[in-house]
Structure 1
Amino acid sequence: MSFESTIQQQSMDFSSNHALEILNKMNVERKSTQAFCDVTIKTDDGDFSAHKCVLSAFSEFYSKMFSSEMKKKLENEVSIKGVSSDIMDLIMEFIYTCKITLTTDNVFDVLAGSEQLQIPYVKEYCSKFLLDNMNETLCLNAFTFARMYHLTEVVKRSEECIFDNLLVLLKKDNFKSLGLNDLLALFQVNERPDCDEDLYDALTLWIKHDLENRKNNFCELFKNLCLENLSFCFLNELVVTEELVMKCHRCSKALISSLISPPKDTIEDLSRFVLMGGEVTNDVIIWDMQTQQSSIVRKLNCKRCASAAITLDGNQLCLMGGKANGKITDLVEGYYLEPESFECVLHPCMLERRSYFAACVLNDIIYVSGSSSAEGSSSCELFDRKSNKWSKIGKLNKGRGYHGMVALNEKLYVAGGFGGQNLSSAECFDPSTNVWKQIPSMNERRQGLCLVVFLGKMIALGGYNGNYLSSTEIYNPKTGSWLYGAPLNVARYGACAGVVNGKIYVIGGKNNQGLLTSVEMYDPVLGAWELFGNIEPARVFSSLICI
């Protein structure tokens, strides 16, 4: 009989933290006695004793360095460039203890060190720290480093934070120090918010921080702006006041094209002129720019010339003063556009009778200035629609009539005219101070000129100074200077002018060849005037309104 004994084996799993304990003990000894350390890591400002096997286990960088195929496996000293002793100490502590202290002051240096030494765990902790602590202080550097080290989530979160705080960030030095590729990446974000005006400010600020070295990057950055998101008013100011734009043909052409074809919801859909009266007619006509056809809609109540006209609320034309049946008047009439019956209503008369004067609207207040006389008039007044009353305001420094007046940048400007002699002088009125101040004079004396605002500047067109003028001048309020512009094809005195959809139109007037019916249009893309049809009968000192 055989006896067989069966032994049943049992197994149990046990766990211990002895690996961490070993590393902790090795860490203490490496910093005290350097026991069993076989390599010294040297930074620019410190030395660290360590164990090759431990470093190799945590870092692909060290693993390759100490491999049998590497010459440096035989070396007991390894120099690491670009990592400070403070950062190396933090990384060493992590390798031996799995603990690291990250702060807003050290996170980017730790991230750079972990990338260089190829320690993915530290890189992940840096990424988590940035995501959890993203704010306006960190976001610019976070964006730069995250792009450099391919931290996709951090890139996206930092982009959001940058756009949320863009205006604040523009004032910070680290924004001005962004690299070209980082700034370009911001401009190319597909889902960025509608903040292109702020981005334009960011662009010019960044370029001008180091103009000599960065100016050639302007076009590359500018083409990434979405011009459709820029308001018409912003474009209008931008294109003529920024030298960086005007010196770049591609940029200026793109901007001007946007001005000529602005979004429908940003400006009124103007396509017609209303012409009222003049020295040879009392007709009110509408001229359609698209068809270049005119039609008479009514006659004024009396023969009227040398008046001034403005539009109110987009549905009423206001004709003021001038000569009515040959006599200077203070009459103010309103003509309703809707429906186009041009029904006439009377408004309170001006405080003075005026002819060959000028008028414009600023902040819903009507302003008038000057009048014709031997020495011209310095008198000015305003009409407040809320009180329905006219009142006097500060006087011009020089009496004048046959001049022009426009509203620009919350101020009023007058230029040229006649005041005992033909004038080249110009003045600026600030409603907050009620004072007119002299500004630089035009290059030529001009009476009977047209004055318009175009692309953020004041444009003087034609006139008379003993000769009929075809020259034009452009005043830049930022530089306080007048420069000659493209000349008209035809010299004109007593013409009328208006701006519609990014182009200037000049109509009628007279010169030494007689009364004029021709119309000229200025195309800023071509930078030249071209003849643009005719309007019968001829118009001299007529009033023009765009509708």
Structure 2
Amino acid sequence: MPTRRAGSAAALLDDGRMMIIGGYDERGIAEGLLASCDIFDPVAGAWIEDGAAPLPRSRWGHGCASLQGKVYVVGGCSLQLDAPSQESFMETLRQCDIYLPKENRWIPTAPLQIARSGTRVVALGSRVLTAIGGCDDVFGRAETQPTVELYDVENQHWSVLQHRLTHPRTTAGAAAIDGKALLVVGGAPSYSTVEVYRVQTAADAGFAAREGEKVADLSDGRMGCQAAVLALPSPEKTYPVVERRCVVVVGGERCDEDVPEYQRIKQLAGVPVYDTQLGQWRKDDIVPPLPCPRTAVAVCVGLARPLMRSTQTTSCVPLPGTHKSTL
């Protein structure tokens, strides 16, 4: 990447390019706080440094999602405004902003009801965003959130759902199983638990949530991970036939309190895969581990460079979503 980043976020643009937003660099969360946004073109295989307008306010730990051709950035942490640098403290944000790709500019939108960093933002359908969990740092005492907020793009308003997550979670993995269900995986403090969180819409009562469903635990508890949906081969089948919708969990770390301090943090390279049709974790190695362990990652899914076809194959037609890549 043109810029080293941790705690950043990523989103897919309508033209297939990937946008990497904010975070912090090797100087840390204060001096290294970033507002810049780089663009990755998966077809050209090239980065465009500062390829999009910078955020209105530098931040890390924010959530991000694309909806209706726009990119929404939600919450996160930033330094207090209008304070001398030596006296400025980190604060958790309610602020949300929208990126307009055609105009290459950011505009504000309605703030969250609850300040959140480490929240995961997922689009459900064509008009709703969900902000899942997160952490509100209250005068130095971190309060992990069990709540989920919904944003309706037509009403431009966030509302807190009455039903809560089974566990308060921050920096969890979250992805949409379908238009009304989220798979929520892990999160601080190194949970191995997983749940399905279902959202039910009602025209006369706004949005309401149904009871969550328990899913088998991860083999490794993790936080700082991300999750995304990929089309993958069914068990015992191979590429390029990819007819099974799966959730992949990428990166993260585990903190073990019962071991010596220098051994407590372990970054993870394994990529667990959840089969949404079977409702269980796959035991094969359909997705290989990351080349190196990492945490505080950003993940984005889009079409990759088309694969070269063999000259001996004249009737091969790839299924929709055959060529996928994660970033």
- Give TM-score scaled by structure 1 length: 0.43
Q: How does 1:109-124 map to 2 (within 5 A)?
A: none
In structure 2, distance between residues paired with 1:430 and 1:525:
28
1:416 corresponds in structure 2 to: 133
Among 454, 459, 465, the residue aligned to 2:183: 459
- Structure 2 residue matching 1:534: 3-state secondary structure: coil
Q: How does 1:46-195 map to 2 (within 5 A)?
A: none
2:253 is the alignment partner of 1:510: yes
2:8 is the alignment partner of 1:307: yes
2:45 corresponds in structure 1 to: 340
1:480 corresponds in structure 2 to: 209
1:527 corresponds in structure 2 to: 279
1:324 corresponds in structure 2 to: 25
Contact 1:336–1:344 (Cα < 8 Å) also in 2: no
Aligned partner of 2:267: which letter? L
Q: How does 1:136-535 map to 2 (within 5 A)?
A: 300-325=1-26, 326=28, 327-344=32-49, 346-372=51-77, 376-409=92-125, 410-420=127-137, 421-439=143-161, 440-456=163-179, 457-464=181-188, 467-478=189-200, 480-486=209-215, 487-501=217-231, 502-512=245-255, 514-530=266-282, 532=285, 533-535=288-290
Contact 1:375–1:399 (Cα < 8 Å) also in 2: no
In structure 1, distance between residues paired with 2:182 and 2:190:
20
In structure 2, distance between residues paired with 1:482 and 1:375:
32
Contact 1:472–1:488 (Cα < 8 Å) also in 2: yes
In structure 1, distance between residues paired with 2:297 and 2:16:
20
In structure 2, distance between residues paired with 1:425 and 1:460:
12
Q: In 2 relative to 1, CA 476–418 (structure 1 residues): closer, same or farther, beyond 3 Å?
A: same
Q: 1:483 deviation in Å?
A: 1.0
Q: 1:344 deviation in Å?
A: 4.0
2:291 is the alignment partner of 1:536: yes
In structure 1, distance between residues paired with 2:134 and 2:66:
20
Aligned partner of 1:481: which letter? R
In structure 2, distance between residues paired with 1:524 and 1:459:
9
In structure 1, distance between residues paired with 2:109 and 2:61:
19
- Structure 2 residue matching 1:437: 3-state secondary structure: strand
Q: Deviations over 1:4-39 (max 9, x none)?
A: xxxxxxxxxxxxxxxxxxxxxxxxxxxxxxxxxxxx
Q: Deviations over 1:496-518 (max 9, x none)?
A: 21101100111221113511111
- Structure 1 residue matching 2:73: 3-state secondary structure: strand
In structure 1, distance between residues paired with 2:171 and 2:277:
28
Q: In 2 relative to 1, CA 341–388 (structure 1 residues): closer, same or farther, beyond 3 Å?
A: closer
- Give TM-score scaled by structure 2 length: 0.71
Query: What percentage of residue pairs aligned between the two structures are identical?
Result: 22
Q: 1:492 deviation in Å?
A: 1.0
2:81 corresponds in structure 1 to: none
Q: Deviations over 1:297-338 (max 9, x none)?
A: xxx123211100011135311000001232111111111122
Aligned partner of 1:472: which letter? V
Aligned partner of 1:494: which letter? G
Q: In 2 relative to 1, CA 445–331 (structure 1 residues): closer, same or farther, beyond 3 Å?
A: same
Q: In 2 relative to 1, CA 302–359 (structure 1 residues): closer, same or farther, beyond 3 Å?
A: same
In structure 1, distance between residues paired with 2:73 and 2:276:
30
What is the RMSD of the two structures over their aligned residues, measured on CA atoms? 1.8
- Structure 1 residue matching 2:135: 3-state secondary structure: coil
Q: 1:536 deviation in Å?
A: 2.3
Q: Deviations over 1:134-181 (max 9, x none)?
A: xxxxxxxxxxxxxxxxxxxxxxxxxxxxxxxxxxxxxxxxxxxxxxxx
- Structure 2 residue matching 1:399: 3-state secondary structure: coil
Q: Which has the higher strand share?
A: 2
In structure 2, distance between residues paired with 1:371 and 1:431:
20
Q: 1:471 deviation in Å?
A: 1.1
Q: Deviations over 1:59-115 (max 9, x none)?
A: xxxxxxxxxxxxxxxxxxxxxxxxxxxxxxxxxxxxxxxxxxxxxxxxxxxxxxxxx
Runs of 4+ in 1 over 3 A off after TM superposition: 341-345, 530-533
1:545 corresponds in structure 2 to: 300
- Structure 2 residue matching 1:542: 3-state secondary structure: coil
Contact 1:401–1:417 (Cα < 8 Å) also in 2: yes
In structure 2, distance between residues paired with 1:470 and 1:388:
40
- Structure 2 residue matching 1:398: 3-state secondary structure: coil
Contact 2:2–2:47 (Cα < 8 Å) also in 1: no
Q: Deviations over 1:43-74 (max 9, x none)?
A: xxxxxxxxxxxxxxxxxxxxxxxxxxxxxxxx
- Structure 2 residue matching 1:497: 3-state secondary structure: strand
Aligned partner of 1:412: which letter? L
In structure 2, distance between residues paired with 1:384 and 1:370:
18
Contact 1:442–1:482 (Cα < 8 Å) also in 2: no
Contact 2:246–2:275 (Cα < 8 Å) also in 1: yes
Q: 1:489 deviation in Å?
A: 2.3
Q: Which runs of 5+ in 2 are unaligned?
A: 79-89, 138-142, 201-207, 232-244, 257-265, 303-327
Aligned partner of 2:16: which letter? N
User: Computing the radius of gyration over CA atoms, which structure comes out larger, 1 or 2?
Assistant: 1
Q: Deviations over 1:469-501 (max 9, x none)?
A: 111222222161241332222211001211011
